[in-house]
């Protein structure tokens, strides 16, 4: 089954209203005359001043002032709604004003009325599409009728006593493109409601919508189940923090606590409250740490352990205690220290420290919640079956609060792939989209939301058919994953008997747990810079050694190819001084930094050599542009090997050095280079952008050039031939290897080792087991010289005609 991808916006995020059933594309349905009816609001254009229409504007302003007073007044939400319908009835000179609110199951319930029988309140119910009120909700459009009872959709409810009222005007109560209810006015005599009166009623509906959306009248999660009426779908774009696909009602993560008292009445009592809350918080964090152990070893465990240490930090707790001694309540003291720390940290450009601000916010929120008697996370009674969490930012422990509550996806306004919350989400296999602008403002609690982690996209309030498609895709994805699991122990051999070596791309210790789960033969690319992006200082040799030793332990004897630091460009270490570059992808990065800062590279090589005692050590250098750079890097390795022996450390059983072919200049040095290296890998991401002079980060050029084009295929053929002549192993570790269709071409060309992400390994193995590699090679020879922009269509046709599982 083909993958479902959320369609991109044409120019703006909201989907075309004409594509949404019931969208407000048509004008209001009205029955009116040119002149105002007796008792209506003064007619005239909606202008200002004392000229024509001034009386109308004055009346509107008076009405809105009264309504603002009601909204700001005391009393429950129900009491305020009761006052609103009385004010509207009086100001619009109507015998009846009623408010219907959407309940679960697409049911509109009479919540307040002035004029109908009081006993009908909370008893009268209409389904969406039933009666005139239901029609207004279903279409999301106003309706004005001088004689409502003659309309074919009129539905009589005897308990309301509305048979004496003939004219009716109703408007949907809309918020964020969603119908929350219907506001209706009625009159005994036939009344021709004017355009101005309809406009006023719509304005009143916006005010009432805020009251309904507050959640005080109806539980927001209950309202989410009613999808009746207009529902404007909106697409928001962000970045992929963790792949996957999920759909469910949104729950807004709103951890902030309202501080009702700032000055302490009893300082000693506040200190006691603070101590008790800290103890309760630390106990709860201990339980979260214990719960995280079931996920196995990895960075997520280190993150939670570090979080626990931060929660017990004497400096942080000491500043809060001092603030309490100064006369603040415990809650206010936490807020004071939080604000001061946040103010300092926001002035820091260091990305790592800015990311740690989320951990601080998490702790401060958590402590304030314990002080006010609130349990962090979602109340069990409010938790829907499956939900999508929406937050501005989150700390790792906050995510753990939700992780065992059927959390299906996460949307963040901030975040990065190396943020602590992203790493923990990866451990739980939760799809995450980050850097989604205004997500907490545009998504309301209860909105149905689709999270497309693979493409970094979010769809709010999708149409029913889109929901169905996404749900079908999720189910198909689950079936495919179950099928791929059955292939885990099956050999990666093509249908004509050609063995293919499938390796894993990794960057964190948690990624290594996928070796056993996927059946990968080893790690073809370990991105050593990824763990460093989450630290606030360059780790010393001992720390690096321990990290690499743990990697070997988790690999359980499988080979690991370590790529030395590929920093610079879009991967900037916060503790390494750097200056802005006009073209960072071609700037000071990767091996160039390593050779210019040999102490940094030597420390990494020293750690790798120590950790690899008794193991095979495989190292490859990124962004090599000339043989001299490889020779310089090898000299540093030789120096560290000599040092290793002098210090008496156990040596690796063998050391092999290779390069990443990413810079096209190496293509004219291959014969000489292959005499010096032990193996070679191709990284298609950088190679393609350098070959085509095409910035891969430029959205205008994203689809301009295809990897399955004649130039790229010719390049691959040449490299494969020269490596075969030199007898040197060649692997593909770029993103291209993770696409079944692209991998099919790579195998046909002669690649026998592919390194790819864990999620891609199953689909690629399923593909190659259905592929005749020899027949594919012949086909590529036939089409490989075509002048087409891309050969993708030809390859896809081959897969379809020959039953290749792509």
The 8-class DSSP code of residue 231 comes to: B
Other CB atoms closer than 10 Å to residue 225's CB: what's the count?
A: 16
> Tokens at residue 399, please?
């995510």
Strands laid side by side in the 245-252 sheet: 234-237, 457-460, 448-452, 245-252, 387-391, 407-412, 432-434, 239-242
- Distance from C-alpha of 324 to C-alpha of 274, rounded to nearest angstrom: 9
Please report the beta strands in 496-615, taking only residues with DSSP state E, as ranges in sequence order: 501-506, 523-527, 560-563
> Tokens at residue 558, please?
């499988």
The answer to whether residues 28 and 141 touch, using CB atoms and an 8 Å cutoff, is: yes
The answer to whether residues 251 and 379 touch, using CB atoms and an 8 Å cutoff, is: no
- Distance from C-alpha of 783 to C-alpha of 27, rounded to nearest angstrom: 56
* Helix or strand holding residue 640 (H, E): helix 627-646
The 8-class DSSP code of residue 496 comes to: T
What residues pair up with 178 in beta bridges, in sequence order? 175, 231
Residue from 414, 383, 423 nearest 401 by CA: 383
> Tokens at residue 52, please?
């024509």
The answer to whether residues 249 and 447 touch, using CB atoms and an 8 Å cutoff, is: yes
Strand, helix or coil for residue 540: coil
Mutual angle of helices 299-311 and 420-428, in 10-degree steps: 130
The 8-class DSSP code of residue 446 comes to: T
- Of 56, 420, 615, 723, which is the active-site residue? 420
Query: Residue 154: left if φ>0, alpha if ψ -120 to 50, beta else—which one?
Result: beta
The 8-class DSSP code of residue 216 comes to: S
- Of 733, 775, 796, 802, which is the active-site residue? 733
Cα 508 off chain centre by: 20
- Distance from C-alpha of 479 to C-alpha of 473, rounded to nearest angstrom: 10
Give the position of tokens 């895709």: 473
The 8-class DSSP code of residue 795 comes to: H
Residue from 398, 443, 401, 395 nearest 415 by CA: 395
Which 3-state string (H, E, C) describes 355-380? Answer: HHHHHHHHHHHHHHHHHCCCCCCCCH
Sign of the dihedral defined by the CA atoms of residues 328, 331, 332, 337, in that order: positive
**What is the CB-side half-sphere exposure of residue 157 using CA atoms within 13 A?**
18
- Distance from C-alpha of 260 to C-alpha of 82, rounded to nearest angstrom: 28
Residue from 240, 259, 133 nearest 186 by CA: 133
The answer to whether residues 131 and 168 touch, using CB atoms and an 8 Å cutoff, is: no
What residues pair up with 506 in beta bridges, in sequence order? 526
Active-site residue 649, yes or no? no
For the chain, count helices (H), then strands (E): 28, 23
The answer to whether residues 44 and 56 touch, using CB atoms and an 8 Å cutoff, is: yes
Cα 720 off chain centre by: 39
Active-site residue 420, yes or no? yes
Residue 108, burial from CB neighbour count under 10 angstroms (0-12, 13-18, 19+): buried
- Distance from C-alpha of 91 to C-alpha of 299, rounded to nearest angstrom: 63
Q: Which residues are catalytic?
A: 420, 733
């Amino acid at each position: 089954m083909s993958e479902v991808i959320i369609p991109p916006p044409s120019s703006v995020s909201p989907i075309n209203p004409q594509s949404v059933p019931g969208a407000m594309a048509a004008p209001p349905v009205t029955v009116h005359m040119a002149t105002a009816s007796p008792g209506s609001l003064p007619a005239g254009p909606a202008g200002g001043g004392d000229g024509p229409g001034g009386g109308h504007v004055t009346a509107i302003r008076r009405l809105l002032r009264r309504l603002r007073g009601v909204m700001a007044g005391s009393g429950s939400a129900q009491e305020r709604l009761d006052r609103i319908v009385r004010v509207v009835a009086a100001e619009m000179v109507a015998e009846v004003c009623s408010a219907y609110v959407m309940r679960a199951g697409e049911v509109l319930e009479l919540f307040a009325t002035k004029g109908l029988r009081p006993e009908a309140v909370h008893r009268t119910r209409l389904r969406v599409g039933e009666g005139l009120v239901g029609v207004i909700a279903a279409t999301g459009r106003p309706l004005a009728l001088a004689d409502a009872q003659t309309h074919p959709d009129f539905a009589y409810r005897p308990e309301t006593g509305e048979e004496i009222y003939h004219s009716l005007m109703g408007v949907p109560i809309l918020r964020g493109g969603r119908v929350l209810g219907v506001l209706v006015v009625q009159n005994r005599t036939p009344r021709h409601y004017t355009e101005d009166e309809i406009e006023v009623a719509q304005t009143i509906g916006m005010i009432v919508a805020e009251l309904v959306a507050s959640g005080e009248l109806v539980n927001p999660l209950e309202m989410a189940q009613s999808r009746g009426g207009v529902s404007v779908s909106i697409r928001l774009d962000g970045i992929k923090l963790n792949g996957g696909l999920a759909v469910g009602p949104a729950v807004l993560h709103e951890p902030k606590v309202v501080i009702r008292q700032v000055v302490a009445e009893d300082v000693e009592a506040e200190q006691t409250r603070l101590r008790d809350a800290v103890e309760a918080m630390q106990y709860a964090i201990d339980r979260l740490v214990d719960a995280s152990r079931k996920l196995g070893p990895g960075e997520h465990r280190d993150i939670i352990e570090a979080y626990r240490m931060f929660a017990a930090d004497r400096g942080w707790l000491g500043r809060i205690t001092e603030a309490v001694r100064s006369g603040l309540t415990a809650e206010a003291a936490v807020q004071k220290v939080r604000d001061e720390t946040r103010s300092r940290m926001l002035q820091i450009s260091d990305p790592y420290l800015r990311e740690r601000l989320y951990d601080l916010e998490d702790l401060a929120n958590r402590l304030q919640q314990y002080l006010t008697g609130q349990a962090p996370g979602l109340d069990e009674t409010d938790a829907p079956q499956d939900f999508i969490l929406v937050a501005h930012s989150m700390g790792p422990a906050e995510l753990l609060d939700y992780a065992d509550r059927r959390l299906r996806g996460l949307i963040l306004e901030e975040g990065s792939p190396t943020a602590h919350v992203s790493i923990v989400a990866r451990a739980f296999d939760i799809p995450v989209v980050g850097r989604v602008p205004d997500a907490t403002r545009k998504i309301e609690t209860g909105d149905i939301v689709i999270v497309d982690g693979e493409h970094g996209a979010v769809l709010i309030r999708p149409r029913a058919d889109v929901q169905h498609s996404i749900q079908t895709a999720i189910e198909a994805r689950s079936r495919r994953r179950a099928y791929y699991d059955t292939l885990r122990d099956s050999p990666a051999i093509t249908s004509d008997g050609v063995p293919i070596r499938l390796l894993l791309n990794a960057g964190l210790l948690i990624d290594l747990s996928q070796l056993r789960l996927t059946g990968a033969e080893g790690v073809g690319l370990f991105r050593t810079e990824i763990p460093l992006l989450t630290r606030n200082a360059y780790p010393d040799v001992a720390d690096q050694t321990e990290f690499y030793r743990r990697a070997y332990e988790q690999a359980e004897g499988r080979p690991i190819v370590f790529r030395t630091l590929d920093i610079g460009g879009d991967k900037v270490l916060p503790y390494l001084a750097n200056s802005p570059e006009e073209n960072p992808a071609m700037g000071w990065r990767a091996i160039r930094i390593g050779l210019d800062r040999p102490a940094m590279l030597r420390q990494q090589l020293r750690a790798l050599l120590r950790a690899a005692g008794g193991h095979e050590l495989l190292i490859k250098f990124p962004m090599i542009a000339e043989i001299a750079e490889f020779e310089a890097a090898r000299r540093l390795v030789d120096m560290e090997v000599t040092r290793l022996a002098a210090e008496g450390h156990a040596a690796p059983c063998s050391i092999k050095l290779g390069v990443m072919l990413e810079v096209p200049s190496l293509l004219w040095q291959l014969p000489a280079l292959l005499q010096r290296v032990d193996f070679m890998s191709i990284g298609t991401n950088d190679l393609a952008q350098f070959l085509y002079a095409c910035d891969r980060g430029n959205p205008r050029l994203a689809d301009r050039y295809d990897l399955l084009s004649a130039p790229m295929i010719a390049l691959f053929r040449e490299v494969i031939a020269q490596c075969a002549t030199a007898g040197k192993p060649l692997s593909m570790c770029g993103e291209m290897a993770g696409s079944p269709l692209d991998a099919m071409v790579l195998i046909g060309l002669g690649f026998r080792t592919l390194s790819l992400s864990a999620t891609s390994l199953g689909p690629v193995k399923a593909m190659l087991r259905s592929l005749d590699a020899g027949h594919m090679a012949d086909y590529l020879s036939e089409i490989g010289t075509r002048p087409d922009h891309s050969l993708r269509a030809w390859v896809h046709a081959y897969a379809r005609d020959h039953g290749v599982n792509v």
